[in-house]
């Protein structure tokens, strides 16, 4: 028979150990799974943004990566794989991956980053009330096309033919194509659109630019084209065609100049959207952001190689000058 004092001692020992064993059985904190299509160095700003908001990889967030190699079929497969995984949310850069993700799911939240024309491409219904499961930011502001042409003309006053690289698989590009064509025709210049949707089409596009004797070149931040930026910059250098770009990174790679929103800033803002969604906010309740600040970046080394002189007044306006 157990004495009363011994019974109290045994019961007290059990009470002391019970909370510890209960805590040991508590489930671990949920790790949010975020899908990313076509990872590249530009996504570092997105990951840093999430880290600044308190997310630590393998502690409270995990990333699922899928690569598309820039092909529409593989984009659809990559998005479908993330949906089957499943992930808690998907982050996309550019219009084609966002369209692929939208076609793959109507329920998993999607954060789109640096979209050229989210409404015109049919991704959302409006900027203020995107509806559905998609939100994020755009890289386009008002009157940027005219400003880019004006700045380029200050450095290269003699050009009369403008080549524009566009991607038929990018649903944002038709609107940008029409906008640029209208601006160029208004200035009395000739428009030379060249399309590239696969890697083996670049040589033909470059040959078309040479045949047209284009005196200037423009391109967007289309993700597929950006993955081939070294090839594009080298062609422009070899043919001595000055290029106006949308992002600083292309100028740092050897392009002449750029005027547009900061791509790292757009990715950091994308992290904020992802944070809100992981907190439970619905994408439909988060208006799409448009950039309000645009940076002018000039590469003087490239200007000298092309035999161009950048006017002092334009240098004074530049946010950054690469020597």
The H-or-E segment that residue 165 falls in is: strand 161-166
**Which of 39-53, 139-153, 221-235 is predicted with the least confidence, judged by mean pLDDT?**
139-153
Helix (H, G, I), strand (E, B) or coil at 116: coil
What average pLDDT does the chain have? 90
Neighbours of 126 (CB within 10 A): 11
Residue 9 has pLDDT above 50, yes or no: no
Give me the mean pLDDT over the 188-198 stretch. 95
**144-260+294-322: CATH homologous superfamily?**
Response regulator (3.40.50.2300)
pLDDT given at position 69: 79
- For the domain covering 32-140+263-285, report its CATH number: 3.40.50.2300
- Paired with 135 in beta bridges are 111
188: CB partners within 8 A, 6+ apart: 160
| For helices 263-278 and 44-52, angle between their N-to-C axes, nearest 10 degrees | 50
CA-based R_g, the chain, Å: 26
* CATH 3.40.50.2300 residue ranges for the chain: 32-140+263-285, 144-260+294-322
What would the mean pLDDT of 10-33 be, rounded to a whole number?
52
């Amino acid at each position: 028979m157990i004495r009363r004092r011994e019974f109290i001692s045994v019961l007290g020992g059990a009470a002391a150990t019970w909370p510890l064993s209960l805590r040991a059985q508590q489930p671990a904190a949920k790790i949010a799974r975020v899908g990313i299509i076509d990872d590249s160095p530009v996504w570092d700003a997105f990951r840093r943004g999430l880290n600044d908001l308190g997310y630590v990889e393998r502690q409270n967030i995990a990333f699922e990566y899928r690569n598309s190699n820039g092909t529409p079929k593989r984009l659809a497969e990559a998005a479908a794989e993330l949906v089957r995984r499943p992930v808690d949310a998907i982050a996309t850069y550019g219009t084609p991956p966002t369209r692929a993700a939208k076609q793959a799911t109507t329920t998993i939240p999607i954060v789109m980053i640096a979209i050229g024309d989210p409404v015109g491409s049919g991704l959302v219904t409006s900027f203020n009330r995107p509806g559905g499961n998609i939100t994020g930011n755009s890289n386009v502001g008002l009157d940027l096309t005219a400003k880019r042409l004006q700045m380029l003309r200050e450095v290269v006053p003699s050009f009369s033919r403008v080549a524009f690289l566009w991607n038929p698989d990018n649903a944002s590009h038709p609107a940008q194509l029409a906008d640029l064509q209208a601006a160029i025709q208004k200035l009395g210049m000739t428009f030379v659109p060249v399309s590239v949707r696969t890697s083996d089409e670049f040589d033909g596009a470059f040959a078309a630019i040479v045949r047209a004797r284009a005196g200037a070149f423009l391109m967007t931040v289309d993700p597929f084209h950006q993955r081939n930026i070294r090839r594009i910059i080298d062609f422009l250098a070899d043919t001595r065609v000055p290029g106006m770009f949308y992002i600083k990174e292309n100028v740092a790679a050897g392009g002449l100049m750029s005027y547009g929103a900061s791509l790292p800033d757009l990715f950091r803002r994308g992290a904020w959207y992802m944070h809100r969604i992981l907190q439970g906010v619905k994408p439909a309740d988060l208006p799409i952001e448009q950039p309000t600040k645009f940076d002018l970046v000039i590469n003087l080394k490239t200007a000298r190689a092309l035999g161009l002189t950048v006017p002092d007044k334009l240098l004074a306006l530049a946010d950054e000058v690469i020597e």
